[in-house]
Structure 1
């Protein structure tokens, strides 16, 4: 019996790796292979066609099409007064990701400062809600920003009451960057807060004792200890915004298309070779960024928790005057945070319950009920979309939770190859949902011939597999730190008493990390509920559509006018289901823990 148990862990890891090969590495590999292979023949023609196209690479296309002319072109550029250079689609994608990262860091750092340095009522609640953007479907956030800043949105309604407006920021780079900050500024806050709380207070006090003013003590002592966390958050934010799809699609459209949006457009036009080549280049870039992220994260972990922690101060301690600039700064930051983080979600609900004239109405929800009874071709049944989302979420949870735990076991295993294995198993973070969906469409849904037999996977199964691939890295990010924090003496004692590795994992380690497991489960389910990128490609018509796909259809069938109501109604339903599911799993887990 013990011999059988001792084989369970290797068998589980082997099963996980097999699953990853079938539903991730093989589909994504097929996309990457399309960039260097045509008709089974190795060739660089697809890569040359994309990299040599000024639309994609701008002025840099000459590096591929005419590299020998580069010195002459450079001299001509200098002689022309060094005019602005066009970097094409890839350059614009990186540019908007860089701007989004800068804004996210600028908004997130003050929040980290407040949470790490000061004590105030509601601090723990605010810290806990910094995780909520990760469970918010991105298409939902996009509709929320439309409800707030659209032509008939809440902002223009308020401006109209004072005789101003309208202001139209939809389909501008500014609103895309703001929506990206909604997602990523809380990530910056969460990562930097943890690092700021671990800054060694004795080193700061020593600098002050030696005569350093507060600003210099911060610059010379505190800031160097925060840099790894800031860099980690910045790289991760850049990756997320570089791969952003629903937000750019809904708020920017093809006018502000990024690589991801244009890739999706190529798939819709059945330009699959060009789409696969774009996906291959994008994936190679993002994998490089993930490697940099893991290096920064390792640096952060190695410096985390050293020294004596600094106690937090009352927020307004010593701020005597109401007009104190620090009070004004806190008030302005809270105002900006409320508009950026609360405004879109409140606007979503408000717009779903009001007419363009401001009157209360339930007509938009009645429209959803009418869609429920409609038999028209192409009509998405709202109740069926909700049921599909919940069922796909449960299926993804069943797959993602054990996969995430097994990856954490591999990642925490001491050995020279564990870091490489962790990077390899974290690769789904660097692959966009569109690339994964395209790969699964080409290999699994369209079918693959194995030993003379054509094997195909139906849409719902492919969707569940894609959701699990998207979700399990977040399970790992919750479980790995908890697993690493278990006292090694407990494990050693159990092993000395004869327990094998699977028994130790099941009987000792998993019960000790139950909160992390529950958090990972909540993440996996919520991420599946909100997954849009791969689902929009894999959903077979309206029968396997999910709530995010239905929401996108309602959004696409409007003209930024009064018809925004049905989209906001569907978005409110999605918001309620996502939030309710996350809270339910979290509360159930806490009761089980007690």
Structure 2
């Protein structure tokens, strides 16, 4: 397991990091000085941090009311709504970017609705505003999920004690509840900053080089074959992101320690007849719910609508017909939809086969061998802090271009390298699902099996794995869906059109000017990607549930 990680993750990423301090085998800081001393790159890192900070602030602002709604009120569909807060993590980011283009573009659904009432059009595409909104789409649900869990664990006895001593509801919130929420808020904020700092497809599709972040510019330098400069940029970015992931782990530990474990706060009914129409808090939550529907449902609905309508609003299937026509096209550079779909599914199966055992073994090591070691946890969680562009660049420099070993040049290309990269991207999510389940297993069950003669491997297979089956299925669903939607590394490693996946095909449809100004073909491909991702996720989840009932 460790050898696999060394070959497919630490060695490629290490090659990128070493490029910042080694030239022709000699130690030097010249590449770092050249980048850090260039005003262009100083501004680039500054803008990347600035947009990440704004995206974090907006994501927290949008996510906190949702946490308040889910933690403090009871209403029909609350459990379902709480569950779907994790879904943005399985939606391909390039597809979501196309959804935002379909909704907020010049001829998008939003401007179409404004024209009905005689307003608009509003230009959002190509501005920082739409990038921040798209980042909030992904990260506000994360804030909601983490803060909801913390809010539900607040000990109601402390709040009641404060009220008994004369504190008003607002004062009790600030003095008792808020201090218990701050670790979760900070944890979600740090995670959001990491994700938005390394954001790539959303910025590429919605902002382009005019609003380039470090990731987008790094991708552009790789395309221009300026690999040394790209590696230096990637090394600096990776060092920053690893520092941030360490901060995240520290805050996460603080959050765990701050959980009270006492009697939870009782949720209030959200709908209380006519009182709901005059209660300012409930009115505010209703207004928030409407805005949330626009932000979270609007882009996906717009994606489907734009794929089925002409710019004049008439129903059409021409865009899907165009995809079928591409299937029989022999033009150079043509991306055919069916091979892209089959590639995505095959790569997803391969990544799942690798990511599941990797995730389980990392969880076992994290719990049993490295208990309490933040350094070990950071090393095992490192793929979360390394961008796909950096990993893809490292793969290019090492496995794709080849590595000399014992006088032989070893190269790995095509589907193998893509599946490997997808597995590296997916296994941390498997680990994050399985580790809590493994840590909750009664050690006495394993000890009893060992006392009866079972070795460690047998105890893991016969005792522990069946007990963590639900978490294992959830991890499998995440791994497969993440592979289906992976774009950052794949766009660098896909060779021509033979290894193209659905996200790569989607990006090529966006950028191909021969398709005309309409987003129709791109939205059609995006709708296919949405359907495949959703169906795959549901099928794995349903299959796992039936298996668990046996």
Shift of 1:319: 6.8
Matched residues in 1 for 2:547 and 2:265: separation?
33
Extract structure 1 runs of 4+ deviating beyond 6 A: none
Shift of 1:496: 2.9
Residue from 457, 461, 480 that aligns with 1:502: 457
Paired position in structure 2 for 1:27? 12
Structure 2: unaligned runs, 5 residues or longer? none
Matched residues in 1 for 2:317 and 2:517: separation?
14
Shift of 1:562: 4.4
- Once the two structures are superposed, the pairs formed by residues 84-123 of structure 1 within 5 Å of their partners are 88-123=43-78
* TM-score, normalised via structure 2 length: 0.98
Matched residues in 1 for 2:532 and 2:259: separation?
37
Shift of 1:303: 2.5
Shift of 1:225: 0.7
In structure 2, relative to structure 1, the CA distance for the partners of 1:321 and 1:382 (3 Å cut) is: closer
Answer yes or no: is the 8 Å Cα contact 2:509–2:515 preserved in 1. Answer: no
- Once the two structures are superposed, the pairs formed by residues 124-135 of structure 1 within 5 Å of their partners are 124-135=79-90
- Once the two structures are superposed, the pairs formed by residues 9-20 of structure 1 within 5 Å of their partners are 16-20=1-5
Residue from 38, 45, 49 that aligns with 2:30: 45
Shift of 1:311: 2.3
Answer yes or no: is the 8 Å Cα contact 2:270–2:276 preserved in 1. Answer: no
Provide Cα deviations, 1:200-238, integer angstroms capped at 9, x if missing partner: 111111111111111111111111111111111111100
Paired position in structure 2 for 1:514? 469
Residue from 502, 517, 527 that aligns with 2:482: 527
In structure 2, relative to structure 1, the CA distance for the partners of 1:305 and 1:558 (3 Å cut) is: farther
Paired position in structure 1 for 2:405? 450
SS in 1 for 2:195: helix
SS in 2 for 1:412: helix
Matched residues in 2 for 1:328 and 1:307: separation?
31
Residue from 252, 272, 277 that aligns with 2:227: 272
- Once the two structures are superposed, the pairs formed by residues 47-446 of structure 1 within 5 Å of their partners are 47-57=32-42, 88-304=43-259, 306-317=261-272, 320=275, 322-413=277-368, 418-446=373-401
Alignment root-mean-square deviation, CA: 1.4
Matched residues in 2 for 1:90 and 1:319: separation?
52
Matched residues in 1 for 2:197 and 2:298: separation?
25
Matched residues in 2 for 1:559 and 1:107: separation?
39
Answer yes or no: is the 8 Å Cα contact 2:249–2:374 preserved in 1. Answer: no
Matched residues in 2 for 1:569 and 1:517: separation?
33
More displaced, 511-520 or 310-319?
A: 310-319
Shift of 1:460: 1.0
Matched residues in 2 for 1:292 and 1:131: separation?
22
SS in 1 for 2:497: coil
Structure 1: unaligned runs, 5 residues or longer? 1-15, 58-87
Matched residues in 1 for 2:414 and 2:150: separation?
43
Paired position in structure 1 for 2:503? 548
Provide Cα deviations, 1:114-152, integer angstroms capped at 9, x if missing partner: 111111001011011111100000000000000000011
Paired position in structure 2 for 1:479? 434
Answer yes or no: is the 8 Å Cα contact 2:276–2:283 preserved in 1. Answer: no
Matched residues in 2 for 1:556 and 1:312: separation?
49
More displaced, 578-587 or 480-489?
A: 480-489
In structure 2, relative to structure 1, the CA distance for the partners of 1:501 and 1:302 (3 Å cut) is: farther
Shift of 1:492: 2.6
SS in 1 for 2:297: helix
Matched residues in 2 for 1:260 and 1:156: separation?
30
Matched residues in 2 for 1:271 and 1:167: separation?
38
Shift of 1:570: 0.2
Shift of 1:507: 1.1
SS in 2 for 1:121: coil
* TM-score, normalised via structure 1 length: 0.91
